[in-house]
Amino acid sequence: MTGAPVLEMRSIVKTFPGVKALSDVTLTVAAGEVHAICGENGAGKSTLMKVLSGVHPHGSYDGEIRFQGEGCSFKDIRASEARGIVIIHQELALVPYLSIAENIFLGNEHAARGIISWNETLKHASRLLKRVGLKEHPQTRVADIGVGKQQLVEIAKALSKKVKLLILDEPTAALNDEDSAQLLRLILELKEQGITSIIISHKLNEISAVADSVTVLRDGRTIETLDVRSEETTEDRIISSMVGRDLDHRFPDRTPYDGTADTHPALEVRDWTVHHPIDQQRKVVDNVSVHVRRGEIVGIAGLMGAGRTELAMSVFGRSYGRNISGTVFKDGKQIRTKTVPEAVGHGIAYVTEDRKQYGLNLIDTISRNITLSALPKVTKRGVVDEHEETRVAESFRKTMNIKTPTVFEQVGRLSGGNQQKVVLSKWIFAGPDVLILDEPTRGIDVGAKYEIYTVIDQLAAEGKAVVFISSELPELLGMCDRIYTMAAGRLTGEISRAEATQEVLMRHMTMDKR
Amino acid sequence: MGPVPTDIKKSAPPAPRSTGPTAGALLLESARRNMRQYGMLIALGLIVVLFQIWTDGVLLKPNNVTNLVLQNSYILVLAIGMMIVIIAGHIDLSVGSLAAFVSAACAVMMVEHKVPWVLALVIGLVIGAVAGAWQGFWIAYVGIPSFIVTLAGMLIFRGATQIMLGSRSLGPFPEGFQKISTGYLPSVGPNTNYHNLTVLMGLVLIAVVVVQELRSRRREQEYELDVLPKGIFITKLVAMIAAVLAFTMTLASYRGVPVVLLILAALLIGLGFVMRNAIVGRHVYALGGNQAAAKLSGVKDKRVTFLVFVNMGVLAALAGIVFAARLNAGTPNAGVNFELEAIAASFIGGASMSGGVGTVFGAIIGGLVLGVLNNGMSLVGIGTDYQQVIKGLVLLAAVGFDVYNKRKVGS
């Protein structure tokens, strides 16, 4: 099984401003195998593949790449594709309003002197579609076929480039069972035809189904490479390799929540189901029931695509999804949260995971961002009192330790950690009873993280109910009284502070209940 | 991202630290934040000086200043509304046609049906509001891009105007209606060679400005905010007083304050206040700056967008009425290209194509830059052909300068 290595990546180091994404990664892939890469969110999987495919050009990283025995120094994707390395990203790179055939040969058209030969194009497209087992006419618009079939079109496109090494970044994350199975079968068929594949996945059952070996990354390092076919490589073995890190973050001391005497949870969501906004057959949140009490910090753990953000956003004013069903209770009474103002009116706040896209008006000042969701509080007789507003912003600048010369600074000029503090300030100023924090420490440095943990602690101590969504398990373990786990839209576990370890959480997070 | 100014403390000298930033830093800071507006104010000043010299002083003669106000009033009215539309992240191409439609409707009402002019005026404004609501409905609630909806509106209202008027020009109008555009405040009191009421208004305005500035400064001190040092504050105050005084005395030595200037002042103050200090104004900025974030903050995005277009409709109607009153006739080709002038004024005055930035005051500055250019170039005998070329270049330069500046600051 283990042929000669077709790909060797040695001591790869890649730094972004302020972050070391890859600190020492070594990857060896044998010819003709299916090689899985797994690791937590942020472990460096996607970055590594971007280095390999030339998205991060040669020179922007350190280390050596050898493909088919020759050194590689790709300056862009075209250079890597010329050598037969093709990457298929999680977000598909297809033009929706062009046909399948046009997409397959985009940038690589069958043409003579700039004039496309449609007969050639269609002939070749049909042949490629047959190879990937797609029974659509090549002139069908890509927008008219499902995500699963689009994935196959991507693979056909890769085949048209004479692919030797196919990289798939979480290929089944957006697919239903049937489409996933078909895709995995195709990967095995391609293997028979001599095409080597690298597949990034955190679905352990998938890995054991198709992969020959698996490399585990953690915190930008290679931990180990395991032979999947060997007896010793169990799912537990992979899990412990994925999470086996010391708790290197520090957390403020907090007295765990004990008030089980409360009669009603501050917020309770029952039988919540949400469908994907475009692919309406797919349930992104499937019959989930969760609750949080005053003074309690409840974590929600899950890997990419588990449906955590979708759950939070759909509860918060139906800001995500279609065909939402289920009920929401606040202090025991059923409430309507169909619009954001309704949700805010019931004392619910949602701090988004993507602060730049959904959290802040980057071109406006700190003070105006902080007051936006609760302007009536600084308004007298219909007039926004700018002095009062400034005073409020100043007080948050001090208590939250927002590092800025003045509160009139544009939010877009602050660092990530300080931006996050502005978003938090905004929602604390709104005075909610329930705070849903979605990845509140993503992309910020350790010092700022500690400050944010302290704030969260204080909020809980003041009797607010906190829902803490995070991909960092140590953070959840350090902060939460109780942790829900989600996988593929379903609730897979509810784990108390006492029982929770990284291994337990990861086992529930990779559980596929389907 | 530029150097994040977090290490200011580190680089500060060990000398005893003052309680706040230095005066220079404060000035620079406020200049940086209002770059485009100050830039345009300075540019306006330079253009005025240029033409003042070029026209041997004709530009700032009292009758020409009055004329400038009258000539540009309807564009300024439109620019105020357009600025708000652009801040909200939209565009309105229909305002010229809508202005024409309303002026035609008023003409038909007054000339053919002998409707009293006050009633015609009110109905005209209501028509504008309804037309704005119509467009706002499609944009806000149905989700059709404003460019498309208002392009359709441009055709619809122009067509409707021509259907209503054919090729006729309807006029003249009752004197009261004409006065909207050609009237002045009445002369009262003893003969002083100046228009007494105008002088009085100027003095009142100065008093209000001084009181406001002082109160605002005192409150800022109460809240322990950084304020401008006394010297600079007084200089600023004196400059403001001088500007108001010069303007009122110029007007007062001709025929006084035109009625239309009062309308403009009311709009500037009223809508300027709404945009800055009313919740709905804040919501407009938030929507234009980041619609997704605004929605998730509880801003009623659809309603706000709808209201912005209703407001634009009313202002377009008002512009049409002012224009008709000035022309003393309703004509099928009134208001052609007004939308383009208003859009140009907004961008020169500091709006951004992506929304979220700009002020009502900026729209006035932008409109005046264009207006002074028009007037000045006509005075020195530059043909309208060259005028268009030059105005185009000014628009390009103004926005280009801003883009360049932002890149330098933001990199």
Q: List the single residue in B29, B223, B279 with the smallest CB-CB distance to A384.
A: B279
| Terminal CA-CA length for chain A | 31
Contact A362 B298 (CB under 8 A): no
Q: How far apart are CA B322 and CA B76, in angstroms?
A: 11
CB-based contact A327:A334 (threshold 8 Å): yes
Q: What is the pLDDT of residue B3?
A: 40
Q: Along the 411 residues of chain B, how does pLDDT read in single tens digits?
A: 334 343 333 333 333 333 445 656 666 666 665 666 677 888 888 999 999 999 999 999 989 999 999 999 999 999 999 999 999 999 999 999 999 999 999 999 999 999 999 999 999 999 999 999 999 999 999 999 999 999 999 999 999 999 999 989 998 999 999 999 989 988 887 888 888 889 999 999 999 989 988 888 888 787 776 777 888 888 888 988 998 899 999 999 888 899 999 999 999 999 999 998 899 999 999 999 999 999 998 899 999 999 999 999 999 999 999 999 999 999 999 999 999 999 999 999 988 888 898 999 999 999 999 999 999 999 999 998 999 999 999 989 888 887 877 665 443
Contact A368 B285 (CB under 8 A): yes
Q: How far apart are CA B50 and CA B10, in angstroms?
A: 47
Q: How far apart are CA B294 and CA A358, in angstroms?
A: 8
- Name the packing angle between helices B62-87 and B338-348 (round to 10°): 80
Q: How far apart are CA B132 and CA A64, in angstroms?
A: 63
Average pLDDT in the A501-508 region? 89
Both B152 and B246 in one domain: the answer is no
Q: Taking CB atoms and an 8 Å cutoff, what residues of chain B touch A415? A: 1, 4, 6
Contact A413 B2 (CB under 8 A): yes
Mutate to test the interface with A, among B296, B406, B407 (most CBs of A within 10 A): B296
CATH number (domain holding residue B99): 1.10.3470
Residue A254 CB contacts under 8 Å (≥ 6 apart), including other chains: A457, A460, A461, A479
Give whole-number Cα distances, B377 to A232, A284, A297, B65, B390, in Å: 87, 64, 69, 14, 10
Both B131 and B215 in one domain: the answer is no
Domains of chain A: 5-243 (3.40.50.300), 263-347+432-514 (3.40.50.300), 360-430 (no CATH)
Contact A359 B2 (CB under 8 A): no
Give a three-class secondary structure readout of A254-291.
Answer: CCCCCCCCCCCCCEEEEEEEEECCCCCCCEEEEEEEEE
Greatest pairwise CA separation for chain B in angstroms: 81
Residue A477 CB contacts under 8 Å (≥ 6 apart), including other chains: A247, A483, A500, A501, A502, A505
Give me the residues paired with residue A221 across strands.
Answer: A24, A218
- Domain contains B30: no
- Domain contains B315: yes
Residue ranges making up the domain that contains B338 = 37-183+258-410
Task: Return the sign of the alpha-carbon dihedral for residues A46, A52, A57, A61.
Answer: positive
- Domain contains B237: yes
pLDDT in tens, A286-338: 999 999 999 999 999 988 778 899 999 999 988 888 889 999 999 989 999 99
- Domain contains B6: no
Measured in angstroms, the CA of B221 and the nearest CA of chain A are apart by 10
- Name the packing angle between helices B146-165 and B117-136 (round to 10°): 150
| Minimal-distance CA residue of chain B relative to A392 | B223
Q: How far apart are CA A220 and CA A24, in angstroms?
A: 7
Q: What is the ipTM of this complex?
A: 0.78
Q: How far apart are CA A126 and CA A123, in angstroms?
A: 5
DSSP B111: I
Nearest to A442 by CA among A351, A348, A360: A351
Q: What is the pLDDT of residue A24?
A: 87
Q: What is the pLDDT of residue B20?
A: 47
Q: What is the pLDDT of residue B203?
A: 92
Q: How far apart are CA A452 and CA A252, in angstroms?
A: 10
The two three-digit tokens of residue A149, written as one number:
């079939």
Measured in angstroms, the CA of B253 and the nearest CA of chain A are apart by 38
CB-based contact A89:A151 (threshold 8 Å): no
Residues in chain A, overall count: 514
Both B233 and B325 in one domain: the answer is no
The two three-digit tokens of residue B64, written as one number:
């020409």
Q: How far apart are CA B128 and CA B320, in angstroms?
A: 9
Coil vs helix vs strand at B170:
strand
Q: Taking CB atoms and an 8 Å cutoff, what residues of chain A touch B285? A: 361, 364, 368
Q: How many Cβ pairs closer than 8 A exist between chain A and B?
A: 108
Q: Tell whether the model's pLDDT for residue A250 goes beyond 70.
A: no
- Domain contains B21: no
| Minimal-distance CA residue of chain A relative to B297 | A373
> Residue A67: enclosing H or E segment and its boundaries?
strand A62-67
| Terminal CA-CA length for chain B | 5
Both B253 and B267 in one domain: the answer is no
Give one word for B189, left, alpha or beta, with left for phi > 0 and alpha for psi -120 to 50. left
CB-based contact B183:B261 (threshold 8 Å): no
In this structure, the number of other CB atoms found within 10 A of the CB of residue A82 comes to: 12
Torsion of CA A267, A268, A272, A275, to 10 degrees: 10
Q: How far apart are CA A101 and CA A125, in angstroms?
A: 5
pLDDT in tens, A28-54: 999 999 999 988 777 788 889 999 999
Both B172 and B214 in one domain: the answer is no
Q: How far apart are CA B292 and CA B6, in angstroms?
A: 29
B208, B238, B257 - which closes a domain = B257
Both B197 and B270 in one domain: the answer is no
Q: What is the pLDDT of residue A412?
A: 85
Both B119 and B198 in one domain: the answer is no
Residues in chain B, overall count: 411
For the ranges A71-75, A211-215, A451-455, B94-98, the maximum mean pLDDT occurs at B94-98
Degrees to nearest 5, angle at CA B279 with B277 and B283: 110
- Domain contains B27: no
Q: What is the pLDDT of residue B353?
A: 86
Q: Taking CB atoms and an 8 Å cutoff, what residues of chain A touch B279? A: 375-376, 379, 382, 384
**Number of domains chain B contains:** 2
Contact B278 A344 (CB under 8 A): no
- Domain contains B162: yes
Both B159 and B234 in one domain: the answer is no
Q: What is the pLDDT of residue A450?
A: 84
Nearest to A373 by CA among A348, A398, A338, A406: A348
Q: Taking CB atoms and an 8 Å cutoff, what residues of chain B touch A277? A: none
Q: How far apart are CA A329 and CA B209, in angstroms?
A: 53
Could you give phi then psi for residue A465, rounded to 5 degrees?
-90, 130
> Please, is A55 exposed, middle or buried when counting C-beta atoms within 10 Å of its C-beta (0-12, 13-18, 19+)?
middle
Chain A residues within 8 Å of chain B (Cβ atoms):
316-317, 319, 340-341, 344, 350, 352, 357-364, 368, 371-373, 375-376, 379, 382-384, 386-388, 390-391, 394, 403-406, 408, 412-415, 418, 426
Q: How far apart are CA A471 and CA A263, in angstroms?
A: 31
The two three-digit tokens of residue A349, written as one number:
């706040």
Measured in angstroms, the CA of A405 and the nearest CA of chain B are apart by 7
In this structure, the number of other CB atoms found within 10 A of the CB of residue A283 comes to: 19
Give me the residues paired with residue A434 across strands.
Answer: A348, A465
Q: How far apart are CA B79 and CA B36, in angstroms?
A: 17
Both B283 and B193 in one domain: the answer is no
- Residues A35-46 as b/e (b if ≥16 CB within 10 A, e otherwise) read bbbbbbebbbbb
Prior bond of B172 cis (ω within 30°): yes
Q: What is the pLDDT of residue B130?
A: 98
Give whole-number Cα distances, B39 to A409, B33, B84, B189, B402, in Å: 20, 11, 20, 41, 9
pLDDT band at A144 (very low <50, low <70, confident <90, very high): confident
Both B45 and B95 in one domain: the answer is yes
B223, B257, B291 - which closes a domain = B257
Q: How far apart are CA A125 and CA A116, in angstroms?
A: 14
- Domain contains B116: yes
% of chain A with per-residue pLDDT over 70 = 95
Q: How far apart are CA A219 and CA B24, in angstroms?
A: 46
Degrees to nearest 5, angle at CA A224 with A221 and A227: 145
Q: What is the pLDDT of residue B15?
A: 37
Q: How far apart are CA A39 and CA A202, in angstroms?
A: 7
Residue A95 CB contacts under 8 Å (≥ 6 apart), including other chains: A102, A103, A106, A142
Measured in angstroms, the CA of A362 and the nearest CA of chain B are apart by 7
Q: How far apart are CA B264 and CA B258, in angstroms?
A: 10
Measured in angstroms, the CA of B15 and the nearest CA of chain A are apart by 19
Both B175 and B193 in one domain: the answer is no
Both B264 and B382 in one domain: the answer is yes
B224, B242, B257 - which closes a domain = B257
Contact B225 A404 (CB under 8 A): no
Chain B residues within 8 Å of chain A (Cβ atoms):
1-2, 4-6, 8, 21, 29, 33, 219-220, 222-223, 225-226, 276-279, 281-283, 285-286, 289-290, 292-300, 352, 356-357, 410
Contact A359 B299 (CB under 8 A): no
